[in-house]
Structure formats: C-alpha cells, structure tokens
C-alpha cells in the first residue's frame, strides 16, 4: 500500500477508524461516516480484525501498512540457506546478539494517566529487543540487519502507553486522552506486534518467535511478521509491561532476499533453546517459486525423528491445538501470504526437543512449481544443537538402516556469482593443493569457456573477477588453495577488455609468490587457441589427441564440455560458422586426431567439420550432440561424456545441476564435476525439463550425490526438490 492509499482498519472495540496514511499522518472519522467515504473511493474495502489474546496480540493483516516516510533502502541480495552453518558459527552470532542489559527500562518514565506522556526507554533496553529480533532472523537465514529508527521508537512509546488503557490492536480512546496522542498511539498498536506482562523486550520478541499459545498457533502471525523478508526498520515501545514492536515495515527491496522457503525451526543446525515442545513448526513458501492450493485440506506435513524413526503425519484432520495440530494459513502476515504450521502432541516428544536430535521434514500435497501444476515437495533436515556447553554430537539411528539418510546433496550458493565460484573452489580443492589458479571475468563468457581444460591440467580452480580491484574474498581463496607454495601461477584468460590491466596489477600487489601469465588473443577464438597451446605445453609428452569444439557465440555448449575437458585435460576451442586458418593451424599444432563437436548445426555447420577434416591431416570428428533443444542437448552431451568408450572419463556416480539461463555458475560447476569425474546437467531455473528428469531417472541407481550451483533464483527450490525426489 502506498502512503496515499486509503484503507480501513477496524475492530470489534474500535470507536474510530484509520482511513489513510499520508506522509505519516492519519485522519479519523466516525465509523459509519468513514466507511461510506472509503467505499466511495475504492471498490474494495480492506478490513483487518483485531485478534485479542492473553499476553500477545498479532496484527491480523490482509495488507501491509506503508513504511511512511522511511526511505526504501538498497542492499545486496541475501541468499537464504541455513543448511551449511556450523554450531560454532551459530554460537558466535548468539554471543554477538544475546541480551546483556539489566538496568532500568527508562530514561524518562512514561505517564500512563492524564496528562499522558510517551516517555523514553534507554538505548540498551531497546537494543536488547532488537538483538533478539535480529538473532531470530539470523536463525531463519534472513538478513539480520534490521535497525531501530527514532520516529518508530517514539511512535511505539505512544502505542505502549495507549495499551495500558486497553490491551488491543484497536483500543478505544480514553476520555481524558487528547486526540493527537490517541491518533499516534493507535497508529502504533494497529501496526505492531503487541505484548503484555513482560519485563523486557527480548523476552517479548522471543515469545513472538515461539508463537505457541493456542490463540496464535493457527497462524503464527507474530513470527511471520518478524521473519518477513522485507523488514528493514522497526521501533519498540515499553510502558508498564505493555510492549509494541512495529511490524509493518517492508522497506527492504523485494529482490534483496533470495529464498525458496522460510522455516522455523530452520533447515540445518538450529538451537534447541528456541524450540520447546510447545513451539510449532512453520514453513512459508516464496510465491515467486511455488504455487499452492489455498485450502486447508490436501496439504500434508511429515516430521520424522532420525534417531528412532518416530514419524508424525499432519493434515487437515489434526485440529486440536492442545494435541497434534496442523493448519495451512493464507493471511497477510508479511509479504508471502502463506504458512504451513504443524506441531506434535507434547507427550510424544518425551519432554522436549533435545540437542543432538535430528528431524526430517517434508511438506507435500497441493504445492506446485510456480506457474505450473507440477507437484513438488519441500524436504529438509533440522538438527538441534545448543548455544552453549560441549559441542553437540549427532548419533547414529538406534535402529540401523530403518531411517535412510537424506540423499547427499550440496548447494553452492554465494552472495553473487563470484561468491559461488569461491564455494565451488572450496569444494573441489583442499587448502594448499594448487600450484595455479585460473582467473576469468565474471561479466562475460567467451574467454572463460576455454579455461576448463587449462584448469584440469593445472589442477586449478576458475575464479571470477570484475572491475579493477581484486576482491578480498577472491584474494583469500587464492591464498587458501596455494597456501604453503613458494611460487605458483595465476593464469588470466582474455585481454584487458575482459580482465583489466588494473586488475592484473591489483592481483600482483595483493599476492606473494605469484607468476602471472595472460592469454590475450585478438578475439575470443584466438584466446582459446592460445589457451589450448598452453594445455599441451603443460602436459608435454602425455598430451592426448583429443580436443572439444564448441560455438563461440553461445555459452551453453562450452559449459556442458567443462567437466569432460577438466577430467580429460583436453582443450576447448571455439568456432563460428566458418573454420578459419587459425583454428586449423592450432589443431595441427596440437596434433589433434579426435575432435568432439558439441553444438547445433546452426551454430557449428556440418561444413565446418568438413573444412577442418580436409585442412587438418588425420583429423576425425564426432558430434556429441546437435539437438536443437538446449536441455535435450545437455542430457545427450552428459551421456556422451559419461560413456566409457568415448574416452573422457566421466561417470554417473554423481551429477551437478546448474542453470542454462546464465553462464557464471556453470563455470565453477565444470571444475567441481570435472575434479569428481561426474556429469553436469543444465536446467531451467524454475522447472526441470523432462529430458533432464528422464536422464536422472535413467541413472538414479548409479548417482550417489548431487550438487546444485547458484542460489534459488538460479536453480529454484522446486527444481532441487524434484531432483531429490527422482533420486529417492
């Protein structure tokens, strides 16, 4: 809702109605008069009912309140992925954010009788509440940088004072309270999580995250507001044990958080201190990646304790808030408008969740890949750890073999393409393993495509750069893989138009012991030829007779060739629609007799093969795939390179999945899969093509691990789920 939009907030106890937010001001009218006025301006009235509960109230909102005068902020994209965290990392973050203040709440105590005054809380008191909010967001994988603003804090103080007169999102105006004070207080109470009976803000926020009362478990609205991806600013208020926490902020840009789902407890390690037996589980799906049936029936959640195989199955029949419970809720708490909520019967947990326990979670039924009716399921494992004490140990199941482990899978998802390449490097290369690194621009593909063969023969990662200064994280990764080496090579792919001269200087200044060698041809084809010559030179007499030819005007086939080139230490050459003398001379110099061509005949015409064979003595060519459909060609190429008789050394023992819609993630995938000797398949970002699913199914008995490259915007959560389901 924009600041000038009109809307109606009313409740069963309301005496007035907020009818508009205009630059932060609100106007009040008697209920009947204003209802008519609003109806005349808009064909739809947005009505929000206040929900009264003991101790906590949640704003039950069908739409978001405006952020008022707080400007929208720009931020780097945060990828929600909690699966790879360590207990040490969680404990370190807790030590940064755990509440520590024990003093008085007030700088100036509020007046809760006429003449009313908002008062002011101490900064340390407020910050403890904010720290708890940010730690909750951290546990869910969301940006944990929400900040307080002075205006929101003051608004919240007005709201807290008003709550001392009536504990409701829509309290009536006390007879002795000025209209101005009431308006500001009402604007706060009707847009906040509110609480009563707490002596500090952090306990209140933790209670909101738990959301475990019988009055709230059906929607976990407090939790969903705190875990709203769009939250960036908030304010907190406190007066005589009444609390407000502004919840409607949606200032963070919609593209700043990349997630498939938001879970509580989250996937991966999760501290048991935030998961008592009464705390419900919840999963909120990203509407950009999933569709769902908006009915309570038809959805199913299962929770399986790994240690003994105890399994709970939740569905619409589980309606007891005092026992086993399930609900699918589609109200407007935050921006995603969905939550699938489930909770075992407390007696079944034998006390509570315990550190060292692991639970497999599956949400299925009535959930589809976005824009389709293709059913998908969400699956993950939650492992309970502790915020203090001895390191948590996760034991084997007490019934060996009864509970199969989740299919081994890994997602390499950095904050950007450069970070993803670093994660791929860390997966493929041990500390101090490398005598070289390969550097390519992350902004365009041609020069980087030829790097896989060079990386294979040099046993080196391909790392991406841009601009004129070497990033600190790329520098750190170069130092890690070359640790302990007195000297090592840095191979730069492309001219100064691709990797700038200033970047080369920055690399030299940042490192010690490096020897830089640049491959800079007159064009992309010439650069690939220079790299190919280096591939042969590094191998000497052991150099084979193979090379791979891919189109120079597209990246898909070059990505598909990457693992094979790495494993076979074979050069990748680029070609256009004609074969020039430079390519022929390079093939002669290499002594190539087995040229594998990968690409459509539109990209690499048959005439190119004919010309090369006539111009290069002893040359034979094989077309790995010329299928016009990208994904069918991906499947066929993977099959070709994994066929032993073709001599490239790949197998179906594992598989990498990367998007065909962008090039950067596939570059790192080539090194990892090549190092492992396994296959790479390219997919659509938001759906799994039938040719890819068929290939996975055909080799499911052989595939023992799967790796996904890039964030969920590159390879979506539903695609990951479909792949994992195929491999069960």
Give pLDDT, residue 208: 97
Give pLDDT, residue 587: 97
Give pLDDT, residue 27: 25
pTM of the model: 0.65
- Could you give the CA distance from residue 436 to residue 425 in angstroms, rounded to a whole number? 12
Torsion (CA) 496, 502, 507, 510 in degrees, nearest 10:
180
Q: Cα–Cα distances in Å, from 696 out to 426, 472, 555, 657?
A: 26, 38, 23, 11
Domain ranges across the chain? 6-74+94-249, 261-406, 417-726
Q: Tens of pLDDT along 559-611?
A: 999 999 999 999 999 999 999 999 999 999 999 999 999 999 999 999 999 99
Tell me how far apart the terminal alpha carbons of the chain are, to the nearest angstrom: 44
- Could you give the CA distance from residue 161 to residue 237 in angstroms, rounded to a whole number? 9
Q: Tens of pLDDT along 633-642?
A: 999 999 999 9
The CB density around residue 107, as the number of other CB atoms within 10 Å, is 11
Token representation of residue 125:
């008191």
Give pLDDT, residue 561: 96
The residue with tokens 């789902």 is: 261
Give pLDDT, residue 84: 74
Give pLDDT, residue 529: 97
Radius of gyration in angstroms for the set of CA atoms belonging to the chain, rounded to a whole number:
30
- Could you give the CA distance from residue 724 to residue 728 in angstroms, rounded to a whole number? 6
Pick the CATH number of 261-406 from 1.20.120.550, 3.90.1150.10, 2.60.40.1220, 3.20.20.80: 2.60.40.1220
CB 58, CB 50: distance < 8 Å: no
Q: What is the DSSP letter of 645?
A: G
Token representation of residue 531:
């790299």
- Could you give the CA distance from residue 136 to residue 193 in angstroms, rounded to a whole number? 15
Averages of pLDDT over runs of 10 residues in the chain (728 residues) are: 23 25 25 24 25 36 30 53 86 96 97 98 98 98 97 98 97 97 97 96 97 94 97 98 97 89 95 96 93 93 90 95 95 92 92 92 90 84 95 69 53 86 92 96 88 96 95 96 96 95 97 96 95 96 95 94 96 95 96 96 96 96 94 96 95 95 88 94 91 94 92 84 84
């Amino acid at each position: 809702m924009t600041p000038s939009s009109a809307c109606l907030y009313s409740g069963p106890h309301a005496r007035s109605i907020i009818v508009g937010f205009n630059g932060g001001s609100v106007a009040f009218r008697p209920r009947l008069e204003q209802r008519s006025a609003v109806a005349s301006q808009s064909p739809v009235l947005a009505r929000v009912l206040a929900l009264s509960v003991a101790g906590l109230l949640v704003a039950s909102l069908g739409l978001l309140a405006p952020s008022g005068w707080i400007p929208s902020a720009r931020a780097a994209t945060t990828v929600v992925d909690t699966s790879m965290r360590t207990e040490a990392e969680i404990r370190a973050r807790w030590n940064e954010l755990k509440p520590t203040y024990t003093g008085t709440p007030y700088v100036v105590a509020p007046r809760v009788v006429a003449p009313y005054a908002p008062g002011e809380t101490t900064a340390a008191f407020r910050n403890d509440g904010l720290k708890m909010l940010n730690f909750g967001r951290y546990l869910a994988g969301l940006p944990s940088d929400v900040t307080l603003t002075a205006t929101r804090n003051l608004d919240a103080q007005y709201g807290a004072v008003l709550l001392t007169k009536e504990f409701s999102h829509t309290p009536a105006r006390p007879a002795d309270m000025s209209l101005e004070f009431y308006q500001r207080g009402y604007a706060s109470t009707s847009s906040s999580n509110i609480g009563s009976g707490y002596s500090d803000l952090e306990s209140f926020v933790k209670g909101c995250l738990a959301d475990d009362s019988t009055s709230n478990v059906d929607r976990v609205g407090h939790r969903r507001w705190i875990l709203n991806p769009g939250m960036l600013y908030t304010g907190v208020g406190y007066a005589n044990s009444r609390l407000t926490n502004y919840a409607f902020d949606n200032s963070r840009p919609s593209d700043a958080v990349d997630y498939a789902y938001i879970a509580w407890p989250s996937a991966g390690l999760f501290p048991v201190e935030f998961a008592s037996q009464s705390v419900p589980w919840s999963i909120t799906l990203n509407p950009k990646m999933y569709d769902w049936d908006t009915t309570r029936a038809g959805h199913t959640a299962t929770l399986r304790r790994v240690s003994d195989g105890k399994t709970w199955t939740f569905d619409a029949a589980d309606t007891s808030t005092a026992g086993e419970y399930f609900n699918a809720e589609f109200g407007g708490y935050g921006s995603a408008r969905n939550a699938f909520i489930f909770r075992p019967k407390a007696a079944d947990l034998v006390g509570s969740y315990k550190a060292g326990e692991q639970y497999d979670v599956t949400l299925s039924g009535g959930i589809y890949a976005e824009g389709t009716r293709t059913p998908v399921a969400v699956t993950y494992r939650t492992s309970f750890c502790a915020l203090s004490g001895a390191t948590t140990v996760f034991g084997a199941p007490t019934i060996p073999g009864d509970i199969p482990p989740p299919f081994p899978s890994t997602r390499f998802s950095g904050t950007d393409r450069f970070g993803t390449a670093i994660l791929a490097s860390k997966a493929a290369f041990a500390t101090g393993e490398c005598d070289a690194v390969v550097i390519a621009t992350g902004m365009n593909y041609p020069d980087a495509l030829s790097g896989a063969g060079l990386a294979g023969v040099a046993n080196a990662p391909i790392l991406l750069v841009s601009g004129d200064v070497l990033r600190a994280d790329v520098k750190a990764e170069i130092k890690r893989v070359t640790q302990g080496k007195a000297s090592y090579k840095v191979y730069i792919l492309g001219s100064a138009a691709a990797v700038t001269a200033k970047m080369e200087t920055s690399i030299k200044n940042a490192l010690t012991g490096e020897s830089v060698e640049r491959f800079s041809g007159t064009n992309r084809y010439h650069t690939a030829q220079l790299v190919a010559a280096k591939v042969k030179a590094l191998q000497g007499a052991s150099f084979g007779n193979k090379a791979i030819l891919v189109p120079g005007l597209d990246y898909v086939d070059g990505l598909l060739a990457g693992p094979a080139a790495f494993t076979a230490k074979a050069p990748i050459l680029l070609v256009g629609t004609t074969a020039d003398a430079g390519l022929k001379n390079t093939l002669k110099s290499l002594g190539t007799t087995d040229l594998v061509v990968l690409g459509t005949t539109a990209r690499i015409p048959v005439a190119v093969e004919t010309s090369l064979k006539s111009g290069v003595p002893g040359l034979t060519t094989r077309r790995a795939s010329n299928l016009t459909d990208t994904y069918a060609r991906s499947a066929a190429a993977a099959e070709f390179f994994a066929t032993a008789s073709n001599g490239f050394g790949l197998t179906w023992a594992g598989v990498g999945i990367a998007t065909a819609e962008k090039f950067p993630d596939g570059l790192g995938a080539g090194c990892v899969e090549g190092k492992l000797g396994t296959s790479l398949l390219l997919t659509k970002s938001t759906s799994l093509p039938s040719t890819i699913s068929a290939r996975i199914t055909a080799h499911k008995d052989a595939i023992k691990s799967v790796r996904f490259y890039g964030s969920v915007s590159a390879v979506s959560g539903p695609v990951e789920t479909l792949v994992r389901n195929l491999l069960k």
